[in-house]
Amino acid sequence: MSAADDSEEQALLAAWRAGDGQAGQELFRRYYVGLLRFFRSKAGEHAFELTQATFLACVEGRDALRSAQTFPAYVYSIARNLLYDHYRKQTRSRGILDLSEMSCEDLSPGLAELHAKEQELALLLRAMRRIPLDAQITLELYYWERLTAREIGEVLGKPEGTVRTRIRDAKLHLEAQIARLARSPELAQSTVVGFDTWAEQLRQLVARG
């Protein structure tokens, strides 16, 4: 986000806090696609209802929004909590869930995956679903939603320095899964070397659904 965009968003956020409903609608419009993407990659067909639930929770909890908190941190904190509640309801019979260790594939193995033509893209998609959910969320917020380490820290309830370490660790988790799932060392290498490019293409693919 550019400095001008950030300044405009801060103005919208201030207006929304002051009771301007149209400013709130504009903020939600800006984050609609990102939230759909956030849920679609992890909750499939439930993405739309979870997105709507997030916006409703944002409105209901507006008074709890801290003055120093950015809107991305606020909205994705709510989205993460709702996603975890969704998984807990879906897997209630399994008992207590350690969502820091379990992956999307563990939690929802029947979730339909998107279809990617490029081998690297398909491999990255599969690997993302097999790393711990917290690691997947960290990478998606950083590479897809363009949140800063500080903002991700607000979402996860962790210091910025811890988040930077988690980003590195999450990427290592992902690279290990890529190596494990790839049909050849060459495919694994091309996926890892071109990670930024493939991550951006995957971001666009998930947004399209």
Q: What is the per-residue pLDDT across 5-24, written as a single tens digit (0 to 9) for each? A: 667 888 888 888 788 889 88
Q: Residue 142, Cβ neighbours under 10 Å: how many?
A: 21
| Structure confidence at residue 118 (pLDDT) | 80
pLDDT of residue 177: 96
Task: Identify the residue with better confidence: 195 or 114.
Answer: 195
Domains located in the chain, CATH noted: 3-208 (1.10.1740.10)
Q: Read off the pLDDT band of 112 (50, 70, 90).
A: very low
Question: What pLDDT does 109 receive?
Answer: 60
Assess whether pLDDT exceeds 90 at residue 76: yes
Helical spans, DSSP H, in 61-159: 71-90, 104-107, 119-128, 133-139, 149-156
CB neighbour list of residue 187: distance below 8 Å, 6 or more residues apart: 119, 120, 123
In the chain, the percentage of residues whose pLDDT exceeds 90 is: 46
Q: Give pTM, 2 decimals.
A: 0.86
CA distance 37 to 32: 9
Provide the 3-class DSSP secondary structure of residue 98. coil
Exposed e or buried b per residue across 87-109, where buried means at least 16 C-beta atoms within 10 angstroms of its C-beta: beeeeeeeeebebeebbbbbbbe
* Per-residue pLDDT reduced to its tens digit, 114-167: 555 688 888 998 899 899 999 999 999 999 999 999 999 999 999 999 999 999
pLDDT of residue 150: 94
Question: Is pLDDT at 169 greater than 90 in this prediction?
Answer: yes
For the four alpha carbons of 64, 7, 144 and 161, in that order, the dihedral sign comes to: negative
DSSP letters, 168-191, are HHHHHHHHHHHHHH-SSHHHHHHH
Pick 46 or 101 by higher pLDDT: 46
Q: Which sign does the torsion angle of CA 43, 109, 87, 103 carry?
A: negative
Asked if 83 and 39 count as a contact pair (C-beta separation under 8 A), the reply is yes
